[in-house]
Amino acid sequence: MSLPTITARIADACTRAGRSPAEVTLIAVSKVQPVERVEAVLAAGHRIFGENRVQEAEGKWPAWKAAHRGIELHLLGPLQSNKVRPALELFDAIHSVDRPKLVRRIADIAQETGRCPDLFVQINTGAEPQKAGLPPAEADAFIRNMRAMDVPPAGLMCIPPVDEAPSLHFSLLAKIAARNGLAGLSMGMSADFEEAIAFGATHVRVGSAIFGERVAG
């Protein structure tokens, strides 16, 4: 478990960027990790975690939430419309908002329950056909629409293409956020979170660098 190492690297990256570490939230991405690795990070006092699937998170986190105060859960993976209700019950933030239909469903249930997580609009900055997220050119209208529906986004999220320099994607995401007056920037993973911090990341999503490689299965 190298949580202290990652925390120190985040602090160093913030110093180099002239930012305060308090501006950067570390989301420990616990998807498909063995229970004992997650429990070690909980025991170390970390409380902010990310998961990719509603169903997997439903199986693990209610018990940990009952056992530890102050747990904050972030949904990072694609969200199906029929999973919005359980997602809104379990998660404090959703980083994969990318379809008008999904926004409508979130708005309906949020109005009914009076509870809405922080919403991040996922932008497909590399325009990759197989990847989730909104084309950059559609971002401004989509954000306006969310505000009009009373579910204003907290920020933007991206996953850069694996074979390109992430900095281009981080700077594009920061530009779209700035022109839309959005403070939140969910970007940076194990391989590139320091670079993301240099470009203004407010939320870094770090899995394998904290927990070790994910076991396939």
Ligand X SMILES: *Cc1c(COP(=O)(O)O)cnc(C)c1O
Q: How far is the CB of 207 from ligand X (least distance, A)?
A: 3
Q: Which amino acid is at 77?
A: G
By CB under 6 A, which span of 108-116, 123-131, 163-171, 202-210 interacts with ligand X? 202-210
**How far is residue 40's CA from residue 3's CA, in Å, rounded to a whole number?**
10
Among 29, 75, 79, 97, the residue binding ligand X under the rule CB under 6 A is 29
207 binding ligand X? (CB under 6 A):
yes
Cα–Cα nearest to 156, from 127, 190, 181, 131: 181
184 binding ligand X? (CB under 6 A):
no
Residue of minimal Cβ distance to ligand X: 207
By CB under 6 A, which span of 6-14, 15-23, 59-67, 199-207 interacts with ligand X? 199-207
Q: Which residue has the tokens 């993301």?
A: 196
Q: How far is the CB of 77 from ligand X (least distance, A)?
A: 6
Cα–Cα nearest to 126, from 96, 86, 166: 166
208 binding ligand X? (CB under 6 A):
yes
The token pair that represents 18 in the structure block: 């002239």
Distances (CA, A) of 210 to 23, 144, 155, 179, 196: 20, 36, 24, 33, 17
State residue 142 phi and psi, 5-degree precision: -65, -45
159 binding ligand X? (CB under 6 A):
yes
Q: How far is the CB of 159 from ligand X (least distance, A)?
A: 5
Contact positions toward ligand X, by CB under 6 A?
A: 29, 31, 52, 76-77, 159, 189-190, 205-209
